[in-house]
Structure 1
Amino acid sequence: MRILALFLFCFQQAWCLNNCPQFWVPISGSCFALLHDKVAWASADEFCKDLGGYLAEITSVDENKGIINYLEAKNPTVKSVWLGGTDILHDGTWFWMHSKDPITFSAWVSGQPDNFHGENCIHLNRYGSGTWGWNDYDCKTKLYGLCETDLQGPEFG
Structure 2
Amino acid sequence: MNFFLLLIFCEVVSIYAAQCPSGWVQEASSCYLFVTSSREHWTTSSFHCSLHGASLVEIDSAKENDFLRKHLTDLGVHTDFWIGLTDDSLEGQWEWLPSAETSGFTDWAPGQPDNGHNEDCAVLSHHSDYHWNDDQCDNSHYFICEKEVSGDSMIVIG
How big is the shift at 1:68? 1.4
In structure 2, relative to structure 1, the CA distance for the partners of 1:78 and 1:28 (3 Å cut) is farther
1:34-61 CA-to-partner distances (Å, cap 9, x unmatched) read: 1121000000000000011000000100
Provide the aligned length of Structure 1 versus Structure 2: 144
Structure 1 gaps, min length 5: none
Mapped to 2, the partners of 1:79 and 1:67 lie a distance apart of 13
Q: How does 1:1-157 map to 2 (within 5 A)?
A: 4=12, 7=14, 16-17=17-18, 19-35=19-35, 36-73=37-74, 75-127=75-127, 131-156=129-154
Structure showing greater radius of gyration is: 2
SS in 2 for 1:59: coil
Mapped to 1, the partners of 2:65 and 2:104 lie a distance apart of 13
How big is the shift at 1:121? 0.1
* Amino acid aligned to 1:153: G
Mapped to 1, the partners of 2:146 and 2:114 lie a distance apart of 26
SS in 2 for 1:135: strand
User: Where do 4+ consecutive residues of structure 1 move more than 4 Å?
Assistant: none
TM-score, with structure 2 as normaliser: 0.84
* Amino acid aligned to 2:46: D
Q: Is the 8 A contact 1:28 1:62 kept in 2?
A: no
Return the structure number with greater strand share. 2
Percentage of identical aligned residues? 30
SS in 2 for 1:93: coil
CA RMSD of aligned residues (A): 1.9
* Amino acid aligned to 1:107: D
SS in 2 for 1:82: strand
Mapped to 1, the partners of 2:60 and 2:101 lie a distance apart of 10
TM-score, with structure 1 as normaliser: 0.84
Mapped to 1, the partners of 2:58 and 2:148 lie a distance apart of 11
Mapped to 2, the partners of 1:119 and 1:81 lie a distance apart of 15
SS in 1 for 2:44: helix
